[in-house]
Amino acid sequence: MAKIIPEKEIPSLASELTKTHTVYAPVIKGDETVFSEINDSAEIALNYSQTPLPPKMYFLPANEELFKVVDDELQKAGGIKPFIVFLNLKDLKAVNYLDKIMQKEPADTFYLQRRSVSTLVATTESAVGSHNGSDLTLEKRNNSTYLAHSFTEKGNKILKSSLFKEAPIPEKSAQEPLPNHFDELLLDSGLLAQAVEWSRENSPSTWEALGKICLSCGICTYVCPLCFCTSTEDKTSIDGSECTRCRKWDACTLPRFAQVAGGHNFRPTQKDRYYNWFYHKFVRAYKEFGQAQCVACGRCQKYCPAGIDIEKILTRLVEDYKKAHTKKT
Amino acid sequence: MKNKPKIAIFDFTDCEGCEVALVSLREKLVEIATETEIVNWRLAQKKADDGPYDIVLIEGTPITQTEIDTLKFLRGQTKILVGLGSCATLAGIPGIIDKEARSGWYEKIYGKDYKPRGIDALPLSAYVLVDYSIHGCPVDKSELLRVIQELLAGKTPKNPGYSVCFECKLAGNPCRLLDKKPCLGPITAGGCGAICIKGGSPCYGCFGIRQDAQVDNLVMTLRKFSDPAKIENYFSMFLKKTPEYKKLFDNKKERNGKP
Amino acid sequence: MENALLPKKAKLVKIEDLSPDVKLLRVKLSNSSFPTNDSGLTFNPGQFMLLGVWGYGESPFGPSSSPYEAGFIDFGVRNVGVVTKHLHELEVGDTVTLRGPYGNGYPLNSMQGKDIVMVTGGCGIPPIASLIEYLIKNRKSFGKIYLIYGAAAPDNLLFRNSYLRWQKAIEIILTVDKPSPDWKGCTGFVNAHLGKVKVDPDNTLVAACGPGPMTAALAKTLGGMGISKRQFFVSEERRMSCGIGRCQHCTCGDTYVCLDGPVFSYDQVEGVWD
């Protein structure tokens, strides 16, 4: 016997959960699916492909007050209300990776605090095997029914809802989504790392050209579910009695990112900065964590106002790299 | 007890909208007035002390010789001179047309005998050293507050290093460029909350061009769906008196703004 | 769990002008001394700390005081940005914030038994000053010790009060670009004076702190003297912000300057694209 839930009951589940939690889920707004706080009776876009802003914003907010000091005394931060995020498997994978990054010693207290009060509910059409990093995964088995897989205590708590019914595991008839080309590229993170690293000296025209296209707007970084760079700034109240230290999303494609006090910029050109965006994701991250910092969600290319197709660039770099290395042997 | 810094607020040719933004700070303005001495502000009070001042905020574009002279005089009267709003910082709306085009219009509208008082519309920085520019048409209240807080704390404020796109994405606006509609957001400094895009209008760059912005790259993107004259129009709204505009368009003969 | 981003509260107990734009700030914890590491040091010379003021931010500085001193830490602060401008305005008794030490520092273990050459320019001297204190304290463990220190003008040379004391234990070569009439030291770039150093190239370690062009020139000259890039250690400058290898501002190729550095052997950083 297993726990199942009819597709049409999932919105009811979400609204039931709003009684005890803040609930965030993908919903359709105009032409887009966006993450939004759910109130009762909201439709959830269970099968979304991408949202403009990724779920990282709930764990690493775009603007976050880290510390507040009043008359030289550090104020105690208020608690964060427990929350639940409904997300797809790619976004789940990104959160799992961010967890790994933020847990690395010395850990990021602020991120981990938010993660500790959050519950991840993944929805998918793929078959679910072992623990996938979610608390609860709802797997689509057929047109009308989802099978629940709970992996943690937090997941078990949600399963207590009367909306889940005991039933035999339904026959799987929902279409298993096929991996796309981008997913396949990511299967060999090592090759991607080699190709991107190799390209700096061996395909300089690629980066020259991209340096003339990139608008340095930062959008690829903001929409990336895995980009996590930030800047910290302090504020002082008008009477000087209250100081706050805030951190904000930053973007390594922005010109000030590697500029030091006194003015020297360690990445003076857009080419350098745009290359670093790739270098971090596909080379530095691979060397640090053994895996490219990318889940092939496609946000960066979908939302790039200059129309840069990152998947295409990576594909070409890998092809060129392979060609250059077969010639030699 | 430290002396409270003396603040004076002046305005030249403009709509006074940025001073209204200052008034709309409400409680925060009261706080500012408590921590400082606002010694001269024509729009809001009778008290109008002469200098010297610690901080002078200037709204508007100096257009007449009197205004230009006043500006130069005020520079000598204050430690810190701040431009308030895009008219002061970028020449704003009055800067849309050039000196030559303007005299053509004068003649057409008022006739040959008209003696205009206006000389030209240039930003404050064309005449004096400006310590900080609070861009915006009108200025954004939280940016205004940030700059005042920083000045009172003895910091040297800096323009935001990020684009309008940051706040635009956070606001959940659909990207205009992806919809093939012109927008100067990527090269424009943030701080405005992307209010225009939210309201369905493009970004015309009233917050000024961001540090080291990729202006040429944006023009390339705009050319994919927009003709050069239209692109120039977008740039001429607020950025006509910037070096970037001159570099992009000034080698061509003046087309826009001529009667 | 300790919050890695939360600084400690410290007090300014001494302020001294080191040059027209550099001040020495001595800070103390309110009611304890600074903790020491496994080697009994408050920090490894070359490590950096984030010194700041609530409301103004934090900036990275390499402490200049002796690493054996746990009662206080000295910083040489040049007025170049928002944080340093405010640090310059503070008075004795004012509160500052402190995090760290972070990073690796100069390779003290590899230095044992070797001739040591320290080369620095301008305001790169603070971490070197603390290294000198360490070397002097353990003088017998090292061979010859040299300091070559350059500045724009004699007025810009920092820690002038310490030279007489240092000179009793180590060889000091001072050089300036613009000498004053009474200047008795050398002139020109630090690089030009490396020839005065008499060391055993196979058994020498060079520690430098200065801008990229200076270290590049040094590497070349040292190579000619038979001192390899692996014997040459430089402190890299980057925008260290979080100090814990996360915010990405200080990355240099594959490394985080805040975690893996700031001190690298020259072969590690030479030719890195970033």
- Residue B148: which of B40, B55, B24 has the closest Cα? B55
Task: Say if the Cβ atoms of C85 and B156 lie within 8 Å.
Answer: yes
Those residues of chain A whose CB sits closer than 8 Å to some CB in chain B are: 29-32, 34, 52-53, 62, 212-219, 222-223, 235-240, 249-251, 254-256, 270, 303, 305-307
- What is the domain count for chain B? 2
Which residues in chain B (24-63) have CB-CB distances under 8 A to chain A?
Answer: 28, 31-32, 34-35
* Shared domain check, B182 and B134: no
Task: Say if the Cβ atoms of C56 and B156 lie within 8 Å.
Answer: no
CATH number of the domain that C112 lies in? 3.40.50.80
| Predicted local confidence at residue C22, as pLDDT | 96
In a domain, C261, yes or no: no
Q: Residue C41 — very low, low, confident or very high, per pLDDT cuts 50/70/90?
A: very high
Q: Residue A39 — very low, low, confident or very high, per pLDDT cuts 50/70/90?
A: confident
Average pLDDT in the C238-265 region? Answer: 94
| Predicted local confidence at residue A258, as pLDDT | 95
| Predicted local confidence at residue A42, as pLDDT | 73
Alpha carbons A198 and A316: distance in angstroms, whole number: 12
Task: Say if the Cβ atoms of A107 and C55 lie within 8 Å.
Answer: no
Distance from CA of A4 to the nearest CA of B (A): 34
Q: Residue A176 — very low, low, confident or very high, per pLDDT cuts 50/70/90?
A: confident
C242 is in an annotated binding site: yes
Domain boundary among C70, C102, C134: C102
User: Domain span at residue B223?
Assistant: 164-249
* Shared domain check, B140 and B173: no
What is the rounded average pLDDT for all residues in chain B? 93
Inter-residue contact A211 to A219 (CB < 8 Å): no
Which residue of chain B is at minimal alpha-carbon distance from C88?
Answer: B154
Q: Mind giving me the DSSP string for C26-89?
A: EEEESSSPPP--TTS-SS-BTBEEEEEETTTEEEEE---S-TT--S-EEEEEE--SHHHHHHHH
Residues in contact with B26: Cβ distance below 8 Å, sequence separation at least 6, in sequence order: none
User: Domain span at residue C184?
Assistant: 108-235
* Shared domain check, B186 and B125: no
> How many other C-beta atoms can be found within 10 angstroms of the C-beta atom of residue A143?
8
Distance from CA of C59 to the nearest CA of A (A): 9
| Predicted local confidence at residue B98, as pLDDT | 85
* Shared domain check, C98 and C143: no
Task: Say if the Cβ atoms of C86 and B155 lie within 8 Å.
Answer: yes
Alpha carbons A292 and A290: distance in angstroms, whole number: 7
* Shared domain check, B209 and B179: yes
Q: Residue A130 — very low, low, confident or very high, per pLDDT cuts 50/70/90?
A: confident
What is the distance between the terminal CA atoms of chain C, rounded to a whole angstrom? 34
What is the distance between the terminal CA atoms of chain A, rounded to a whole angstrom? 57
* Shared domain check, C88 and C124: no
- Residue B5: which of C27, A239, C174 has the closest Cα? A239
CATH number of the domain that C93 lies in? 2.40.30.10
Q: Residue C274 — very low, low, confident or very high, per pLDDT cuts 50/70/90?
A: confident
Residue C1 has pLDDT above 80, yes or no: no
Residue from the list A223, A238, A307 with its beta carbon closest to the beta carbon of B149: A238
Residue A25 has pLDDT above 70, yes or no: yes
Task: Say if the Cβ atoms of A258 and C239 lie within 8 Å.
Answer: yes
Instruction: Report the percentage of chain A scoring pLDDT > 90.
Output: 86
DSSP H helices, B114-155, are: 141-152
Q: Report chain A residues whose CB lies below 8 A from the CB of C58.
A: 232
CATH number of the domain that B57 lies in? 3.40.50.700
Q: Which other chains touch chain A, taking contact as 3+ CB pairs less than 8 Å apart?
A: B, C
Task: Say if the Cβ atoms of C241 and A240 lie within 8 Å.
Answer: no
Q: Residue A175 — very low, low, confident or very high, per pLDDT cuts 50/70/90?
A: confident
Say if C272 is an interface residue toward chain A (CB within 8 Å).
no
Chain centroid offset of residue A162 CA? 31
Residue C74 has pLDDT above 60, yes or no: yes
In a domain, B257, yes or no: no
Q: Mind giving me the DSSP string for chain C?
A: ---TTPPEEEEEEEEEEEETTEEEEEEEESSSPPP--TTS-SS-BTBEEEEEETTTEEEEE---S-TT--S-EEEEEE--SHHHHHHHH--TT-EEEEEEEES--S-HHHHTTSEEEEEEEGGGHHHHHHHHHHHHHTGGG-S-EEEEEEESSGGG---GGGHHHHHTTSEEEEEESS--TT--SEES-GGGGGGG----GGGEEEEEES-HHHHHHHHHHHHHTT--GGGEEEEPP----SSSS-S-TTEETTEEHHHH-SEEEHHHHTT---
In a domain, B254, yes or no: no
Task: Say if the Cβ atoms of B218 and A255 lie within 8 Å.
Answer: no
Q: Residue A328 — very low, low, confident or very high, per pLDDT cuts 50/70/90?
A: low
Q: Average the pLDDT over each of A34-43, C111-120, C259-268 and give the range with the smallest value.
A: A34-43
In a domain, C250, yes or no: no
In a domain, B199, yes or no: yes
What is the rounded average pLDDT for all residues in chain C? 95
Domain boundary among C102, C124, C139: C102
Phi and psi torsions of A51, nearest 5°: -110, 155
* Shared domain check, B127 and B178: no
| Predicted local confidence at residue B141, as pLDDT | 95
- What is the domain count for chain C? 2
C250 is in an annotated binding site: yes
* Shared domain check, B106 and B177: no
Q: For chain A, what are the domain ranges? A: 2-62+78-167, 181-228+251-328
Inter-residue contact B66 to B4 (CB < 8 Å): no
* Shared domain check, C116 and C95: no
Q: Report chain C residues whose CB lies below 8 A from the CB of A284.
A: 251, 253-254
Tell me the HSE value of C130 on the side-chain side, using a 13 A CA sphere. Answer: 30
pTM of the model: 0.94
Alpha carbons B234 and B97: distance in angstroms, whole number: 13
Q: Choose, out of A217, A233, A245, A300, the residue to mutate when testing the contact with B (most B CBs < 10 Å).
A: A217
The torsion angle over the Cα atoms of residues A202, A205, A206 and A208, rounded to 10 degrees, is 120
Q: Which other chains touch chain C, taking contact as 3+ CB pairs less than 8 Å apart?
A: A, B
Q: Cβ-count burial of A74 within 10 angstroms (0-12 exposed, 13-18 middle, 19+ buried)?
A: middle
ipTM beyond 0.90? yes
Q: Choose, out of C56, C79, C80, C82, the residue to mutate when testing the contact with B (most B CBs < 10 Å).
A: C82
Alpha carbons A1 and A5: distance in angstroms, whole number: 13
Tokens encoding A128: 């679910």
In a domain, B145, yes or no: yes
Give the residues of chain B that fall short of pLDDT 50.
Answer: 1, 259
| Predicted local confidence at residue B257, as pLDDT | 52
- Residue C207: which of C154, C256, C135, C271 has the closest Cα? C135
Inter-residue contact C204 to C194 (CB < 8 Å): no
| Predicted local confidence at residue C138, as pLDDT | 96
Distance from CA of B257 to the nearest CA of C (A): 43
* Shared domain check, B119 and B81: yes
| Predicted local confidence at residue A329, as pLDDT | 55
Inter-residue contact B81 to B56 (CB < 8 Å): yes
* Shared domain check, B136 and B15: yes
Q: Choose, out of A266, A273, A276, the residue to mutate when testing the contact with C (most C CBs < 10 Å).
A: A266
What is the rounded average pLDDT for all residues in chain A? 94
Residue from the list A217, A239, A303 with its beta carbon closest to the beta carbon of B186: A217
